[in-house]
Amino acid sequence: MIQRYVLGFMFSEDLEYVLLVNKKKPAWQCGLLNGIGGKIEEEESEFDAIRREVFEEAGLKTYNSDWKYFAYLHSKSPVEGIISMMCSRSDKYMARYFSKTNERIGVYNTKLFRNLRIIPNLNWLIPMAKNALNGKERSKRINIFESL
């Protein structure tokens, strides 16, 4: 069975900063920065899942209207899954720096994040999310197939 996941990128209102998590698990992500996300539970929508994950990982309460889809990623490795990619922008979410899951949360400049230890696909996912929030995306969500 293919697992369903959600991954979200929270940006400042001016899109200059993004909230990222220094991951401790799963093992292949340990020590790397990634967006906020995780598994979608059986009865959850993607919106319910991203709101739950953001609350669990960052202690932030968000709403469905805060989030926008920008892509679906079908990953084959290390675990096969469909990842619903979502993004949001709001300065009210940039104040918290420590996760409730003991993973460090940080606010990073979107022009400098490539110099950090990141999940490799963030090199193109973060600019894609910024474009979606700027209204520069296509009219339909993009489906992406990737093997890490």
pLDDT tens-digit profile of 65-97?
A: 999 999 888 877 666 788 899 999 987 666 554
Average pLDDT over residues 125-133: 92
Residue with tokens 């009219």: 139
Rounded-to-integer distance, Cα 59 and Cα 53, Å = 9
Rounded-to-integer distance, Cα 117 and Cα 113, Å = 8
Rounded-to-integer distance, Cα 95 and Cα 79, Å = 33
Which residue has better confidence, 116 or 95? 116
CB 52 within 8 A of CB 98: no
Q: What domains can be seen in the chain, in order of their start residue?
A: 3-146 (3.90.79.10)
Helix, strand, coil % over all residues of the chain, rounded to 5: 25, 35, 40
Q: What is the pLDDT of residue 101?
A: 61
Query: Residue 19: enclosing H or E segment and its boundaries?
Result: strand 17-22
Q: Which residues have CB under 8 Å from 81's CB, separation 6+?
A: 2, 3, 4, 5, 74, 75
Q: What is the mean pLDDT of the chain?
A: 83
Six-digit token pair at 15? 């899109």
Q: Is the pLDDT of residue 18 over 60?
A: yes
**Model confidence band, residue 148 (pLDDT cutoffs 50, 70, 90):** very low
The residue type at 101: T
Length of the chain: 148
